[in-house]
Amino acid sequence: MSYLSLTSLTKCYGPTTAAEDITLEIEKGEFVSLLGPSGCGKTTTLQMIAGFVEPTRGRILMDGEDITHRKPNERGIGIVFQSYALFPHMTVVENVRFGLEMRGVPTAESRQRVGEVLELVHLNQLKDRYPRELSGGQRQRVALARALVIQPPLLLLDEPLSNLDAKLREDMQIELRNIQQQVGTTTLMVTHDQSEALSLSDRVVVMNQGRVVQVDEPFNAYERPSDAFVSSFVGKTNLLTGLIGKKQGDQTAVRLGDATLELMLDGPRTSNQVQISIRPEKLELTDCASGKLKGRVKTRLFLGNHWLYQVDSSAGELFITQPNLGKRGVAVGDDVGVSWSPGAIRLLEEKVHG
């Protein structure tokens, strides 16, 4: 049995459905992220699990017990909010100890648990400071320590790193993953940041318009997206349209600009077009003669460890990333060829409506 089980979880506000038919199984000790754009229903789902929002229908089981209608303070869940929600008049150690005091934990045990969790998040030297005297990353660690000290069966993270600058955010991603693996707490995080979800999670739950569209390991969600939305939201991609030609055996000729692809198409198609996804890093700039597509460089951006090119090609506009190997490479206005290796092309599923 899964540790956290959501079955047909739905929340409606009048005629508006914020989250619809969310069904998900999370194993004990797993780190799972709800990933999607603003308004996709991920925060509503988290709030239903926490008990802050009453589901319209559906069930929530935690460790085999139905908690669907329990009050938030009866669930024992640890929560880290986007704003951290620290008490400004309390020191670090007082903020962390607060949850234990509310639960009536004996003083000796409380002191020990607070000391252990402050050491875990590297805040022992700052325990007597107030939140206003801490950096954003330090306040985030206090919020995490406060959630972990009660030894929750489930830890919920609501955009916990969104208020940090890029460098600190990256550092805290590593820190958060290390802490979660060390403690082993089952963790569910809400985020709209694709790199955050991919780097931290055992599995990602991609949501769109209130529904779950793909549940997968990060690598699979990136490399084998279920549809055009997942392909474009989980990382950057080039979405191209190919024209279906003649079929020869198991293969079908698909015209993509001035290139012809031999692809295996499953089942009958409702149109003569297919949608194709190619990640920018899987495209390679070559000379015109050796490229599968012909194009011209429209824009070139230097991003430190790699170059980003915008290329007008016979198949449409392409974004291509190339590693920085110490050379400037092609320039804006250059005619180029574009190639890719076998397996770089991802044929997206056709959505049938009706």
* Contact yes or no for 56/69 (Cβ under 8 A): no
User: What is the strand order of the sheet 4-13 is part of?
Assistant: 16-26, 4-13, 57-62, 65-66
Do 141 and 44 fall into the same domain? yes
Q: Are strands 335-340 and 283-286 parallel, antiparallel or unpaired?
A: antiparallel
Give the range among 175-184, 210-219, 222-231, 232-241 with minimum mean pLDDT: 175-184
* 217 and 308 inside one domain: no
Picking from 292, 349, 350, 354, the residue whose alpha carbon sits closest to that of residue 320 is 292
Q: Are residues 162 and 191 in the same domain?
A: yes
- Provide the domain count of the chain: 2
Of 232, 250, 284, the residue at which a domain comes to its end is 232
Task: Determine which of 197-206, 229-238, 242-251 has the lowest per-residue pLDDT on average.
Answer: 242-251
pLDDT averaged over the chain?
91
Domain match, 136 and 187 both = yes
Instruction: Read off the pLDDT band of 43 (50, 70, 90).
Output: very high
pLDDT at residue 354, as a whole number: 37
Same-domain check for residues 154 and 73: yes
Q: The whole model's pTM is what?
A: 0.87
Residue 165 domain flag: yes
Q: What is the pLDDT of residue 348?
A: 85
CATH number at residue 167: 3.40.50.300
Structure tokens at 59: 């069930």
What pLDDT score was predicted for residue 264?
81
* 352 band by pLDDT with thresholds 50, 70 and 90: very low
Q: Which long-range contacts (CB under 8 A, 24 or more apart) does 208-214 make?
A: 208/36, 208/37, 208/40, 208/233, 209/40, 209/41, 210/17, 210/18, 210/19, 210/20, 210/40, 210/41, 211/20, 211/21, 211/22, 211/41, 212/22, 212/23, 212/24
Does residue 352 fall inside a structural domain? no
Task: Look at residue 284 and tell me if it is in a domain.
Answer: yes
Residue 104 sits in the same domain as residue 18: yes
For residues 34 and 170, state if they share a domain.
Answer: yes
Residue 122, pLDDT score: 87
Is the domain of 249 the same as that of 339? Answer: yes
- Per-residue pLDDT of 315-349, as tens digits, reads 999 999 999 999 888 999 999 999 998 889 988 87
pLDDT of residue 350: 61
57 shares a domain with 205: yes
Instruction: Give residue-wise pLDDT tens across range 129-163.
Output: 999 999 888 898 899 999 999 999 999 999 888 87
Same domain, 10 and 62: yes
pLDDT tens per residue, range 250-306: 888 899 998 988 888 876 677 888 899 999 999 999 998 889 999 999 999 999 999
Contacts of 123 (CB under 8 A, 6+ apart): 92, 138, 141, 142, 145
User: What is the domain extent for residue 150?
Assistant: 4-232
According to the model, what pLDDT value does residue 158 have?
92
Residues 217 and 313 occupy one common structural domain: no
Residue at 353 is within a domain: no
Q: How many alpha carbons lie under 13 Å from residue 203 in its C-beta half-sphere?
A: 16
Q: Amino acid identity of 58?
A: G
Query: Can you give the CATH number for the domain in which 301 is found?
Result: 2.40.50.140
Q: What is the pLDDT of residue 284?
A: 95
What average pLDDT does the segment 228-243 reach?
Answer: 93
| Residue 51 belongs to a domain | yes
Looking at the structure, do residues 193 and 242 belong to the same domain, yes or no? no
pLDDT, position 353: 41
Domain boundary among 195, 210, 232: 232
Domain-terminating residue out of 197, 217, 232: 232
Tell me the per-residue pLDDT of 67-107, one tens digit each, with 9 for 90 and over: 999 999 899 899 988 877 899 999 999 999 999 998 999 99
Check whether 113 has a pLDDT greater than 90: yes
